[in-house]
């Protein structure tokens, strides 16, 4: 049996039915997530192939590659989904490595959804707790060491005893993780927290286990320096094209329907600092497409882009769309941070993001950049932050005005508010607390509502395209059926936040649709006649509210 076992919880060790965006559903409180929706649709089980995971979260595949590059053998290291830990762990096991992203439900989307829906343990935290209960049970029997690493490690500082963790590993794996593993296997003492040094791009080995949904990392770090952001604390590097092509080919050969570049900004590929490199970006897409086409893959997508980069590299934006043959019915959905409509907040917290323009140009960049993306069939999820420590009502008004301008321009995409999180290691850590609704002025609530309303409207228009990307036909059908109910509930919820925000704290925590009974009573309530209304406002709207709260 292997000496080193690598795993992650069910909220990470899944392919989200082939649609990464479904993973955000796992940021909801567990009481608001019917278990069959979680385990059948959002986080279906990852399969095994030859006793190993058929695919893994990208970071775990990278950790495995680092160990192999450092001299460990394939027999010594195995990646398995959490359900199979009992099958591979025994007296030979000396170390279990756990990858974490949001182990206590404190990441921005999780915290925002918790606060806005009345609180409670998120699915992400629930799954991590379940995993660590299983690991702890096995540890008591086999006495291995538990090392936890990944971008969510900051949430576990001060909580290692609670979860039976021996070492928290922060930072990159390539240089120091194999050294730590060797020490543990040699029985040497190790500190409770280890910070891994950054790797040179040439030291980063290609993965050997295919990654979930064809993920391939193309850059690390970001040179823009936003104060609330963790990746910017790492030096910016582009991964060598040869490594990228090998990983893309591995994934395509393993059956990935598309290749998905993991990056903070796809248009930074090959850049020197903030001097962008159009040729490098075009070559990246051309070469990757050339390699993966042989396996029937015709899509090379990416996770994030920055609006200022897009306005600088318009030619690259067009090229990516042409290479992917995008259209109205086949667009891309990248994530983009617009953060605030107030140039004062831009100058204070993210003045590098508009570069080469100035903070006062930011509203123009957001509008023109969004138009450019839409013209090329990129329908982004624009996120913005509510709760900057010294944000004034006027700053929030400017954000609402910017959302209104986007509406006037016919923007196609989501506009999604996130509450400020003082993520460990960022420049706002220690300067800001976790934002909550009670601490916010009414103008901030207006800003939240403006974004949600826009996003609900766009979801209604686009969901058939999104749902068509779900691989499993049954899951596709179920999501299709549930989506109308979900959008109705969201409309009612947004109305409540606008008119009676105090009900978020009093009524919402009582909602529980985790089990079938709770879900059925909610669905039933949503079809009850108007007389159920308590009758002090628009009746139709109120029935929807009761449905959302039942
Ligand atoms: S542009 Fe994005 S990735 Fe870069 S520092 Fe700012 S928030 Fe972070």
Q: Which SS3 state, helix, strand or coil, does residue 477 take? A: helix
Give DSSP secondary structure letters for 114-151: HHHTT---BHHHHHHHHHHHHHHHHHHHH--EEEEEST
Cβ(340) – ligand 1 distance below 6 Å? no
Cα 26 to ligand 1 centre (Å)? 23
Residue 109 CB: number of other CB atoms within 10 A?
Answer: 22
**Minimum mean pLDDT among 174-183, 368-377, 501-510: which range?**
501-510
Tell me the C-alpha distance between 173 and 59, whole Å: 9
Task: Tell me the helix, strand and coil percentages in the chain, rounded to 5.
Answer: 50, 15, 35
Contact (Cβ atoms closer than 8 angstroms) between residue 220 and residue 412: no
Tell me the C-alpha distance between 374 and 519, whole Å: 37
Residue 338 CB: number of other CB atoms within 10 A?
Answer: 28
Tell me the C-alpha distance between 343 and 116, whole Å: 27
Cβ(353) – ligand 1 distance below 6 Å? yes
Interval 367-412: pLDDT, tens: 999 999 999 999 999 999 999 999 999 999 999 999 999 999 999 9
Cβ(306) – ligand 1 distance below 6 Å? yes
Taking CA atoms only, the protein residue closest to ligand 1 atom 8 is 229
pLDDT at residue 535 in the model: 32
pLDDT at residue 548 in the model: 31
- Give me the half-sphere count of Cα atoms (radius 13 Å) on the Cβ side of residue 532: 16
Every domain of the chain and the residues it spans: 1-205, 472-549
Taking CA atoms only, the protein residue closest to ligand 1 atom 6 is 226
- Give me the half-sphere count of Cα atoms (radius 13 Å) on the Cβ side of residue 339: 26
Superfamily for the 1-205 domain: Response regulator (3.40.50.2300)
Interval 71-83: pLDDT, tens: 999 999 999 999 9
Interval 7-21: pLDDT, tens: 999 999 999 999 899
Residue 172 in this model has a pLDDT that exceeds 60: yes
Residue 541 in this model has a pLDDT that exceeds 90: no
Cβ(20) – ligand 1 distance below 6 Å? no
Closest among 168, 166, 138 to 156, alpha carbons compared: 168
Residue with the two structure tokens 């957001």: 366
Interval 442-475: pLDDT, tens: 999 999 999 999 999 999 888 888 788 777 888 7
């Amino acid at each position: 049996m292997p000496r080193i076992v690598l795993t992650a919880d069910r909220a990470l060790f899944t392919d989200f039915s082939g649609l990464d965006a479904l993973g955000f559903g796992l940021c909801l409180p567990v009481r608001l997530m019917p278990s069959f929706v979680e385990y059948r649709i959002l986080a279906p089980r990852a399969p095994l192939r030859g006793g190993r995971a058929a695919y893994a979260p990208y970071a775990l595949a990278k950790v495995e590659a680092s160990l192999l590059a450092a001299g460990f053998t394939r027999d010594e290291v195995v990646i398995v989904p959490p359900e199979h830990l009992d099958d591979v762990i025994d007296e030979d096991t000396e170390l279990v490595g756990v990858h974490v992203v949001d182990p206590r439900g404190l990441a921005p989307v999780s915290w925002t959804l918790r606060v806005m829906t009345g609180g409670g343990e998120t699915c992400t935290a629930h799954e991590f707790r379940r995993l660590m209960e299983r690991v702890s049970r096995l540890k008591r029997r086999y006495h291995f060491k538990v090392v936890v690493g990944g971008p969510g490690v900051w949430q576990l500082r001060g909580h290692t005893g609670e979860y039976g963790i021996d070492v928290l590993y922060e930072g990159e794996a390539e240089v120091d993780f194999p050294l730590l593993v060797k020490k543990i296997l040699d029985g040497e003492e190790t500190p409770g927290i280890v910070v891994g040094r950054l790797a040179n791009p040439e030291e980063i080995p290609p993965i050997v286990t295919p990654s979930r949904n064809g993920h391939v990392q193309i850059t690390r770090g970001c040179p823009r320096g936003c104060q609330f952001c963790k990746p910017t604390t790492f030096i910016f590097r582009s991964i060598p094209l040869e490594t990228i092509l090998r990983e893309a080919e591995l994934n395509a050969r393993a059956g990935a329907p598309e290749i998905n570049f993991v990056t903070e900004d796809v248009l930074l590929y090959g850049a020197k600092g903030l001097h962008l490199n159009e040729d490098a970006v075009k070559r990246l897409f051309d070469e990757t497409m050339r390699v993966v086409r042989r396996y029937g893959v015709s899509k090379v997508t990416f996770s994030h882009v920055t609006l200022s980069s897009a306005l600088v590299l318009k030619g690259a934006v067009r090229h990516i769309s042409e290479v992917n043959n995008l259209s109205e019915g086949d667009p891309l959905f990248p994530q983009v941070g617009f953060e605030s409509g107030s140039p004062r907040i831009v100058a204070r917290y993210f003045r590098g993001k508009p570069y080469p323009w100035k903070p006062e140009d930011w509203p123009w960049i957001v509008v023109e950049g969004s138009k450019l993306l839409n013209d090329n069939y990129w329908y982004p999820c624009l996120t913005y932050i509510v709760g900057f420590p010294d944000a004034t009502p006027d700053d929030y008004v400017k954000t609402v005005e910017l959302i209104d301008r986007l509406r006037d321009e016919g923007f196609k995409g989501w506009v999604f508010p996130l509450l400020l999180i003082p993520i460990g290691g960022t420049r706002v850590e220690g300067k800001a607390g976790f934002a909550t609704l009670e601490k916010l002025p009414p103008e901030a609530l207006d800003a939240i509502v403006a974004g949600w309303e826009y996003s609900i409207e766009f979801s209604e228009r686009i969901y058939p395209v999104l749902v068509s990307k779900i691989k499993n036909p049954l899951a596709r059908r179920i999501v299709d059926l549930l989506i109308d109910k979900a959008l109705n509930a969201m409309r009612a919820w947004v109305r409540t936040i606008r008119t009676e925000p105090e009900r978020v704290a009093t009524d919402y925590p009582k909602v529980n649709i985790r089990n079938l009974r709770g879900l059925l009573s909610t669905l039933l309530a949503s079809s009850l006649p108007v007389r159920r209304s308590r009758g002090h406002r628009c009746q139709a709207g109120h029935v929807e509210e009761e449905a959302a709260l039942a």
